[in-house]
Structure 1
Amino acid sequence: MSRANTTRHLDRLEQLTAILKSEDALTTKRIAAELNISERTLFRDIGLLRERGLPIEADKGRGGGIKLHRNWGVGRLSLENQEVIDLLISLAISESMGQTLFMGNIQRVRNKLMASFSPKQKEKIHQLRQRIHIGAQASPETLSSFHHQHEANTVKANPTIEKIHNAFMFHQRLRIVYKDFHDKETQRDIEAHYLYLGFPIWYLLAWDHLRNDVRIFRYDRIIKAEIKPQEFTVRPLEDFSAILTQQDVKTL
């Protein structure tokens, strides 16, 4: 199947999923007509969605309808790596702020979400949780030099952040251009071992091959990033203890 055909097929599956979520039972004839496909193709697509975990019911017989199971809700989540890490970060921030108006039962929310993950996703989440940390809010002095516009960009709109996250998750070395406090730019080869949030500023706790030592890098000061083929093994958190003891750190 060509890339164009694959894209069209994925788009059609998304349309079918949206139809099933937004309507009561519909006949296969009506759904096939809306998607401009044959009923045979429709049943193949339904089979694929079922394999993905969507609980689709089909009433047998002429005029039978197709619908989602009446108890369908969140169900088993299908999350990409980036979505998993974004969800964890959001939960961690909420937890670090304590009891809030809408998230007073956040521990129960976390438990319910965890119950929705597949075993493979749970293992990925466990690994990521050990590598993401929340600390105290940034000081006024630190905030005065914070480039908020850069940090506020979404991952999709900021390819540099996307590369950092991918290298972090898949244990690959990064070559970055970094601007220090004096606006001096240097090129560094680093290993992104841990993420750290001193709200609202994100940092990388990394091994710096230029300095041959551990270093901390602010996200908003990373000008460019390039993923290198070399992989690394995550260093123990104790290697970064000198950095972490400077803040009140909370593990995710």
Structure 2
Amino acid sequence: MEPTSTRRDMPARLLRLLSLLQTRRQWPGAELAQRLGTSRRTLRRDVQRLRELDYAVDATTGTDGGYRLARGGRAVPPLLLDDEETVAAAIALATAAGSTPGIAEGATRALVKLQALLPARLRPQLDALGRAAAALPHRGAVPVDPARLALLAGCRRDTEVLAFDYRDRRGCSRRRRVEPYHLVTAQGRWYLIAYDPDRADWRIFRADRIADALPTRRGFTPRPLPAENPADLLARSLAEADYPHTAHLHVDLPADQVRSRLFHPVPGTVTPDGEHRCRARLTALGRRLAR
């Protein structure tokens, strides 16, 4: 039988265990018990209690053995957020609820739940934000299934090869197996940045064109991105892509000044043409002029 103090500390210990399991893909049992300040035997009992509460906790094999939070359980582990993270989450949910097709309804429900649990000290900040802020929907926004985004993000987190059917711009579909790296949203669309081993090159996929996505349970070693960050890689790819209509402009302003005034994040390219002039290749403007 467990000591009385151990049983008394159990609720806080279970929350701490859930929090730790979310920070790594896998924990060695000995290290996890040490972080919790408990014995390996008590750790095993706590893991079993979580399973009985429908949290999917897998035991892992190896020299020391360990545990990881797996997919499959119906219960979602609690998130332990500090004040800054809580406000950031509320802002993100409010923005998604007002401007992101496909996930707006789910974002609204999550925001209502979060607001109901907010500490009193944070309510004035969120109330002021709600009265003062509004999101402008993107006219070309494409709905995307939240479950699909969650699956893509999960494979990226677990460095797990992902398989899916992909429909290109011509409507042709084929099965792909890729190493997922990042999800980026731009111009009302979600994009998956991934490495394609079959083509030995980086590829960018629109999330709304992905279907029948499945984890393969095959891991991969992350490669360095061929850009400073994922957003730069996406911007470069979209700027260099072929479009039916493209506007080419000569502007009597420095290139940096023109880039800073562009509304869309990835409308094309701007290259210097002397100190006070530049050339702009804009796909978004080309589409509008062609209408």
The bucket for the TM-score relative to the shorter chain is 0.3 to 0.5
Q: TM-score with structure 1 length normalisation?
A: 0.42
Q: TM-score with structure 2 length normalisation?
A: 0.37
Structure showing greater relative contact order (alpha-carbon pairs closer than 8 Å, 6 or more residues apart)? 1
